[in-house]
Chain A
Amino acid sequence: MRFSCNWLQDFVDCADVPTARLAERLSATGTEVERVLEWPGGPPGVVLARVVELERMPRSDHLWLTRVDAGGPEPVAVVCGAQNLGRGALVPWAPPGTVLPGGTRLGLRRIRGHPSSGMLCSPAELGLGAEREGILLLDGDAAEPGTPLADVVGADRVLELEITANRPDCLSHLGVARELAAALERPLRRPDCTPPPRSGEAARELVRVAIANPDGCPRYCAEVVSGLPDRPAPLWMQQRLRAVGMRPLGLIVDLSNYVCLELGQPLHAFDLERVRPGGDPVLVTVRPARAGEALLGLDGVERVLDPPTVVIDIGGVPSAIAGLIGGMAGAVVASTSSILLEAACFSGSAVRGASRRLGLRTEASVRFEKGLSPELAPVGAARFVHLAHHLGGARVHPGPIDLHPGARPPGPPIRVTGEALGRALGMAVAAPEAARALRRLEFAVQEVGDRLAVRPPPDRLDVTIAADVLEEVGRSLGYDRVPATLPGRRCPAGTVASPAAREAVRELALGAGFDEAITVSLTAPLVADRLRPLAPPWPPIEVRNPLGPQGSVLRLSCLPGLLQAAAANQARGAERVRLFEIGRAFWGPSAAEPPEEPLLIGLVDHVPGGDADEAARRLRRLVALVVGVGGRCADGPPEVRQGRVPGLHAARAAELWAGGRRVGAVGELADGAREALELRGRTVVAELRLDGWLLAGGPAPQARPIASTPALVEDLAVIVPARAALGPALAAFAGGRVPHLESWRLVDEYTDARLGPAHKGWTFRLVYRDPARTLTGAEGIGLRAAAMEVLAEAVGARRRENA
């Protein structure tokens, strides 16, 4: 919200404080200065002038010939294109030679043959506001013609402040002035609310008010004001309104807005003559809207209302949505001279609900929805009638209306001690010092020794407990005074979590050349379904209120996101795309229960050329990587079970199993999935679940003594079917059925004409050893037979003769 320093100066001396210091003091007490604008006054040379003659220029549909009295001996002829002039209006006239803020230098001109000296100016032309249409109209009594505009409209400094949600009191100049007064340690002056003399018919003879739902409206104050003149608000007031971003709209509306921006109490004026056609008092009822009831708002939008929304019903007609917007029906117009002024307290939740349901936020609603004090309503009404009387010469009727069904007796004060405040802050705090700080913020404080009984000012509804008082004291004394310490207390003995196993897995992936990616866990349903090798057969969980279809479900796997990133990289011409991500997926049958959140690592390696052999090499490396990652597990490395995995190449895919559970999948992306992603070339992918088994840790590995007896080393050549997988063969060797077998590895895989296409050759290097003695060649024959038998069983191998 924007604040005018001229306005703040009414309540606290701050005009002399440099901007930087103002910003620093406000920031230190919790109000952030986002921007400071230098707001210009009237440009030099421009004077006030009264329109003495006004006629249409012949043969023009919009130009006017005017003569204005600018304080000189003779009226001046000025041609003007604005349509809001009237004879007698007081307007700014820029004489020839004036340079306007836009840089235009004015002179004596002829327009369609008519002489025109200088120009009459709009607020925008003077740099005083945004309004370009219409000449700036001044209060007729503001000053004599010839008075420099700068005397009437001084320059201002405008602060744009960020007001936190708990401080609706600071959505007003008085509230910020109070903060400033405390921060600068200067006295606060309250605005003049002296009651004006009252005369005429009593308000209750004209208006009766009833509150049908006190929950939505704890207090309703109203005044009847008549004899309001049809003229603009004083220029200084217009200037302040413009400075804080509000457009002047006429005396009544401007006064209401002014009081709202000054005190934080929203006001609303109804045209009394329009809402009270007859002679009897009109009945004003604050009530819930009836379902389907419509109201045409001041913004020209017709809204259909629902019961929880509160309306102001005047004479049976819904005339305003409480705390949100007035209706056209009772709206004030230029000719309005009598009004019913509403200064009410509507409940925050009622206004917030209505605002949300109707999708409408207004100056009034942003204040009400944060919760305003009912004590503020009569103050707002009093300030309005004071200004209406003194600035507009209006008549204020006797018997102001004040219904306060939500009135509560004051609760007990908040009790704190200097000792407790100091203990919480971590520095010594003397009770009198705390009391002084609180009083500067208009808190009532009773001091008894170290004990303080504190009552916040009525508009500080945010202060209810001792911790709130602590904050007031802390921010007043300044946190820069608090010494920086570390909490140095004894903690019970325990274990220190080992530097996460997850980080070790991350290191393995990095070491294998994969770049770490972070992809968004929200995705599109089709994308989520594209590749989900580990997910149970449930659909992805939907977000009820997604930002768009691209992020409407929770992912089931890291892989689709990584593949999208790979495709995007490929589209940008990247040659090497090797990505991994460690993150959670979300698996559950529905959104009724919290889903399982497995921690996954997904890896994607893209082979741009699409070479099948290269893809096979990368795939093997990837398998080695994930099996290696799994090697950290207590159950040993996971078993690779070749087979079909949806979304993966039918002949190049495998599942990983550990401890009887499927923990991963690895393979080459199937053509279909690749095309859907617009990925050229081949891509190998893997996904491995990390939580539950891998990160759980396990017993430390146990060393065996390394035997020093000579080994019997033998190469075993066998013939196996062409599609035999190595895994089962190695598993068979590991099974312990070949005596003395210490190690085994494949040293050659080959095909040749003699084998034919249905078979391939394998040569294993087998190392046998007995730790106690040297094995003999004769024993070797038996061992070879045992190894052969095991292999034949596992993969249908037979012996290759004279290899």
Chain B
Amino acid sequence: MTDGLSNPEVPVPEELRGQVAITTLDKVYNWGRRSSVWPMMFGLACCAIEMICTAASRYDLARFGMEVMRPSPRQSDLMIVSGTVTKKMIPQIVRLYNQMPEPKYVLAMGACASGGGPFKEGYNVVSGVDRFVPVDVYVPGCPPTPQALLHGLMKLQQKIDGQSIRSVRWYRKEASESIPVPILGPDLIDPRDIPHIKAHAPAESPEEAQA
């Protein structure tokens, strides 16, 4: 275990090999985090079934230290957005994301979560969760096979490995901002769009908008 952690440039005396590791803080910290990413137990649609299969015995997510699925956002590090994001559901997803403590990651599983997928044209479908929350890893597929999801999770581990506590956003001085929760209006309203809507609303009667 210590072998992977040690910094090869610093020699360790023979008698202490295997017991002492000399390494950097970043490495230990990242190693700890990448080996126990707790996903949120949160299935949206068909992709969730493959997510469950990934966690089950054949594919066994536990090999990555990720089998502890938490139903509460407060205890989870990773949100696997496994399925179609609908307009009716996105306020809840944003709220859940805001409730997760940092460091937090988002994995968009499947075509729907990544970009709307087969249902993109639908009136109640958000074309990709990245319109509202920042996504770290996209896994293509409809649904992605468990192998693909595992690959995505390993990509996430790689991403974690590359991070440094000096630069990550959750150790900055200023508090991180939460994402404004979308409003269910006549259609979905992104609060960040309200100035735009205000500026254009009077001119935009439905007939004109379609013209």
A and B are interacting partners: no
Residues on A facing B (Cβ under 8 Å): none
